[in-house]
Amino acid sequence: MKDFKTYDAETFFDNTSYMGTDFSRDGSRILLSCDETGVFQLYCLDVLSGNKTKLTDSEDTVHPVRYFPEDNRCLYMSDSGGDERFHVYVLAEDGTVTDLTPGDNVRAIFSRFSADGQWFFVQSNERDERVMDLYRYDATTYARTLVFQNDTGFSTDEVSPDGRYVSLTHNSSNRDSDVYLVDLETSDKQPVKVTDFDVQALNHPLTFSPGSETLYIGTNAAGEYTQVVAIDLKSNKTAPYLEEKWDIASLDFSASGKYRAHCINEDASMRLVVTDLKTGESISPPSLPEGQIRSFSFSADETSLSFYLDTDTSPKDLYVWNLASGELKRLTHSLSPQMEQDHLVGATVERFDSFDGLAIPGILYKPKNASADQPVPAVIEIHGGPGGQSVTGYNPFRQFLVNNGYAVFAVNNRGSSGYGKTFFHLSDRKHGEVDLDDIVWGKKYLQTLDWVNADSIAVMGGSYGGYLTAAALTFRPEEFNLGINIFGVTNWVRTLDPASIPPWWESFKKALYDMMGDPATDTERHRRISPLFHADKITKPLLVVQGVNDPRVLKIESDELVEAARKNDIPVEYVVFDDEGHGFTKKANRITAANAFLGFLQAHMPA
């Protein structure tokens, strides 16, 4: 007997999505963006009342950055149609907007304010599209000075609160990276290497101490997972600082260092730990639902912490936690009032043995109507990357399909992050082969579940997951009933050509080649694993979704696959968004995409 309601895509995406946690100086407001108008716009939210005031009216997604330290001016970032060439803007209190980083080909990223609030720092590639230089802006006049010219080609990272240091990352390979430090007060401003471990390790800056005496870096030098070490900037001595049983994903401090907060990526779920550094004790808010906490901010006076929490069955909502009194206040209610949370389903983390006995994790969603007497069709979902991770928490696309009778299994194939460095590197230069076999064995696992229809299993994914979807239909043509390829790579020969890679990926390119193979030596393999060159093998229905402005997977990739697959006299559908890049930022487009997914499944693998 059915004990839940089925909702359409319009209802699922009637939910409001939020981002941004920064407090105003007096702690009375929070700067955020939300998509209740259909496009993410900037708002200020009153902490006391929960009311919000709309600040922008943009055609493109607006990303909140932060308030100015001494007044209610604010900074935000926005690109054009998803092209990822972000500019940094300042919004004055009278509503005047100033583009601080103008230029058609400019990509800019806000770094931080100095501790005294007199300056702020912005990274920009305007001088050379391949690298990010660092500029210092006067917080009053917006006059700027180039303080670090990135002639090294390293990745520009954290700036110290006193504005004296900037950290850099140099990627020697996808197994080995080092952190460098530049003293901006020296005349030559030469990068000095500050990581020197006896083993290959991935090292990256996390943050500086509030007083700028210490740089904290994440490193997997000591084991499988990313831990934190502290580097004293006067002595250059390195010491262990923080260790967990899983990757530490982020670290930050309150203004004076009274509190520390760090997030742990614990078996595909993010957990926040807040520590009172005076007592050394971890503290937590009362009566908080179990769920994911990913982003957070301390108020300037260190009395409050803002954060977003979501669960499998509810979108992320904004909370403010009074650290002194323990009071917890929920400021948003994102789930559509037309939906009941009990009608959605929670996920379970499952593991299965792959072709070689390796345990592969995945996140499984079982529809409420699924049973041994009524087995349901299933969809294997593949994350992006290479090297990404599917995580628990609210995902409207998954819940929409599950609510309409399709099981979803989000597989974290070998090569995924979050499960240790050995697991991460198991697919190096074997992408499209061993990871694809993991997906096939994920299907075999689903076929052991009596509530899954063993003869009705599809595959879908976005970005690199879109590639593996196309690869599954091409190189394992009898395994899946259909495939949904969402802006996935189809021609690695073109994609890995230096001319096709976004110029601002220059510092990451070597690591990418270590994962996928260098076009100078591995072109034959790239051709062998590219679905486009073998598209005549595709025999099952294919849906392709693509954004016109995608800088990562060019539209021609999808155009050519669709053209080639249609020659096979099979159902091929193609959905193109003129105003999107590598993803769906606009609510109307998310609805269109969700309906396309469900419609294609119902047409060729009905529930």
Find, among 121, 132, 124, the residue nearest to 106 by Cα. 124
Encoding tokens for residue 332?
Answer: 């948003």
Examine the pLDDT at 418 and tell me if it is beyond 70. Answer: yes
pTM of the model: 0.94
Nearest to 290 by CA among 274, 326, 314, 320: 314
Tokens representing 305 are 């912490």
Instruction: Compute the distance between CA of residue 67 and CA of residue 586 in angstroms, rounded to an integer.
Output: 25
What gap in Å lies between CA 183 and CA 190, rounded to an integer?
A: 8
Indicate if the pLDDT at residue 511 is higher than 90.
Answer: no
The pLDDT, as a whole number, for residue 288 is 83
Rounded Cα distance, 318 and 550, in Å = 30
- Distance CA(363)–CA(406), nearest Å, equals 14
Phi-psi region of 77 (alpha: psi -120 to 50; beta: other; left: phi over 0): beta
> Mean of the pLDDT values across residues 528-538?
97
pLDDT band, residue 190 (cuts 50/70/90):
very high
Is there a cis peptide before residue 386, judged by omega within 30 degrees of 0? yes
3-class SS letters over 186-208: CCCCCCEECCCCCCCCCEEEEEE
Strands 177-183 and 192-193, by their bridges, are antiparallel
Does residue 77 have a pLDDT over 90?
A: yes
* Alpha-carbon distances, residue 361 vs 100, 226, 352, 355 (angstroms): 44, 19, 7, 14
* Residue 508 clears pLDDT 80, i.e. is over it: no
- CA angle 133–136–139, rounded 5-degree value: 145
Lowest-confidence segment of 14-28, 134-148, 501-515, 533-547 by average pLDDT: 501-515
Q: What is the pLDDT of residue 513?
A: 87
pLDDT value of residue 515: 87
Amino acid letter for position 235:
S
- The H or E element containing residue 558 is helix 555-566
Cα separation, 306 vs 310, in Å, equals 14
- Angle ∠(172,178,181) on CA atoms, nearest 5: 130
Average pLDDT over residues 23-50: 96
Q: What digits encode the pLDDT tens for the residues 369-386?
A: 999 999 999 999 999 988
Nearest to 378 by CA among 452, 479, 483: 452
Residue 592, pLDDT score: 97
Q: How far apart are CA 450 and CA 230, in angstroms?
A: 51
Answer yes or no: are the C-beta atoms of 574 and 542 closer than 8 Å: no
Could you give the CA distance from residue 4 to residue 341 in angstroms, rounded to a whole number? 10
Please, which residues bridge with residue 108 across strands?
Answer: 124
**Buried-state track 136-158, b at ≥16 Cβ within 10 A, e below 16:** bbebeeeebeebbebebebbbbb
Q: What tokens were used for 440?
A: 């096939």
The pLDDT value recorded for residue 1 is 47
What residues contact 410, with CB distance under 8 A and at least 6 apart?
362, 363, 364, 365, 380, 381, 382, 383, 390, 398
Give the percent of the chain with pLDDT over 70. 100
- Lowest-confidence pick of 354-363, 516-525, 592-601: 516-525
State the virtual CA torsion across 232, 237, 242, 245 in degrees, nearest 10.
150
Tens of pLDDT, residue by residue over 196-223, are 898 999 999 999 999 999 999 999 999 9
588 to 4, 19, 591: CA distances (angstroms): 26, 18, 5
Counting other chains too, the contacts that 195-203 makes at CB distance below 8 Å and 24 or more residues apart are: 195/219, 195/231, 195/238, 196/238, 197/221, 200/173, 200/175, 200/176, 201/175, 201/176, 201/177, 202/174, 202/175, 202/176, 202/177, 202/226, 202/421, 203/169, 203/177, 203/178, 203/179
Q: What is the pLDDT of residues 125-174, one digit of tens each?
A: 999 999 999 999 999 999 999 999 999 999 999 999 999 999 999 998 88
Q: Rounded to whole angstroms, how far apart are CA atoms 58 and 213?
A: 41
Mean pLDDT score across all residues of the chain: 95
- Per the CB < 8 A criterion, the answer to whether 241 and 229 are in contact is yes
Where would I find the H helices in 270-323?
Answer: none
Give all domains of the chain, ordered by start, each with its CATH number.
17-151 (2.120.10.30), 341-604 (3.40.50.1820)
